[in-house]
Structure 1
């Protein structure tokens, strides 16, 4: 295990890691289409997530000009509406902004507060600047600085997104810890020299046997305990 004093700054993924993105989107879809049963909602959630992933991949491959998360979420909402037969514009517009109203995981606000008392803490998210502003306020997440992929006009795991955090941290990348519930995200962070901590979340991307992250924890509470053990 790495020595805690080596870490100067902690960077967190937000969607899925600090807030329950799958659960929040599922609830928003059910609100928009209240007649849908659980299986139908899950199918509509798959429509949403596949569209977002596909469009972000198109941006990564330069098959599409950069579009921020608000634009892609709006497209996803329209896709869901088409599949569900929704025509009410108010419901569709509310669905399009569902990412602004995601609930934090139960351990996220307290764990973040504990770590922020010891380290500078940064958010590094695919969410647009305006979405992050509203999401952080809704979820009660208090950061020393928030960084959006919008600033790099790219999506993780593009290296320029992680460089936003390295530049903001103002220290060597090996002294910056990236925390995420998505192994693919941590692999991208490793590729730019960052240290890594995997936190298990339902619906996250689990590590492979070949992954070698610095920390593996089941909760943010456990990670905070490990990183503040000597304080």
Structure 2
């Protein structure tokens, strides 16, 4: 029996039916997700290993963080991302019978604000900037009134025209209003914007609001090949790869 080789991102994009890519307009603005797309959540593995004795609990916590942020928005409620992350640390501790100390709550908040970049990000952003795109960020994380944002902590702020937070509308992604806010603030049509994210729930949300989308297949993330759902216009393994497959906007 012949085993088919595993396919990478560049192979997967060839299989996407164009009718499911929805907005196919050439973008001029790249809107970057921050958490996991630019900065590395895996850097918190050691913290979860210390607290729970298992670094894989980080992924469990992150899944809850995404699910409950969406739950709040669907319920018409809001608390900031860091407070939600702290509460979920306690909830998982209760489930697993692990005592969560006050200092653990503070450590998880600090960790969420100070994660390092993925190794490809700086080089990739430099290449993307040379292609002529306007570049901004859109994150679930709130602004930090007492210091640097996670993006600034990671040394990436200089590459972006603006940093947007969902806190301005008090709704989490993938609420359509979050993406419309960015387009309105930049005074461009949604179709001019391309969401760059490591999560399909983010690319689907952006495309439902009129954006195009680029999926970065960070570890633990992949396409959702369900007919009828919008599929990314671009699929790349990292930002360096993305810069190779995006068209240049110079001269547009």
TM category (shorter chain) comes to 0.7 to 0.9
Range moving further from structure 2, 111-120 or 143-152: 111-120
What displacement does 1:81 show? 4.6
Instruction: Determine if the alignment matches structure 1 residue 202 to structure 2 residue 216.
Output: no
Q: Structure 1 residues 152 and 93 mapped into 2: Cα distance closer, same or farther (>3 Å)?
A: same
* 1:79 counterpart residue number: 91
Q: Deviations over 1:190-222 (max 9, x none)?
A: 111111111111122533253432111122112
Using the alignment, how far apart are the partners of 1:212 and 1:55 within structure 2? 24
Shift of 1:87: 4.9
Verify the 8 A CA contact 1:115 1:228 in the aligned structure 2.
no
| Residues 173, 192 of structure 1: 8 Å contact kept | yes
- For residues 205 and 225 of structure 1, the distance between their equivalents in structure 2, rounded to whole angstroms, comes to 19
Mapped pair 1:61 → 2:74: yes
Partner of 1:41: helix, strand, or coil? coil
CA contact (8 A) 2:133 2:249 kept: no
Question: Structure 1 residue 175 and structure 2 residue 192: aligned?
Answer: yes
Q: 1:181–1:201: 8 Å Cα contact kept in structure 2?
A: yes
Distance 1:171 1:53 in 2: 28
TM-score (norm 1): 0.83
Superposition deviation, residue 151 in structure 1: 0.9
C-alpha contact (below 8 Å) 1:12/1:122 kept by paired residues? yes
Any unmatched runs of 5+ in structure 1? none
- Identify the structure with bigger relative contact order (alpha carbons < 8 Å, sequence gap 6+): 2
Alignment length, in residue pairs?
222
In the superposition, the TM-score normalised over structure 2's length comes to 0.77
- Cα–Cα, structure 1 residues 130 and 175, in superposed 2: closer, same or farther, change >3 Å? same
Specify which of 236, 245, 248 is matched with residue 217 of structure 1. 236
Aligned 1:1-231 pairs, distance under 5 A: 6-21=26-41, 23-30=42-49, 32-33=50-51, 36=53, 40-42=54-56, 44-62=57-75, 65-82=77-94, 83=96, 85-117=98-130, 118-130=132-144, 133-142=148-157, 143-210=160-227, 211-227=230-246
Contact 2:70 2:173 (C-alpha < 8 Å) held by counterparts: no
Gaps of 5+ in 2: 1-17
Structure 2 Cα separation of the partners of residues 138 and 14 of structure 1: 12
SS at 2:144 equivalent: helix
Superposed CA deviations along residues 69-108 of structure 1, whole A, max 9, x for unmatched, are: 0210121232345446345432331123321122211111
| 1: CA distance, partners of 2:240 / 2:143 | 27
Cα displacement (A) at 1:10:
0.7
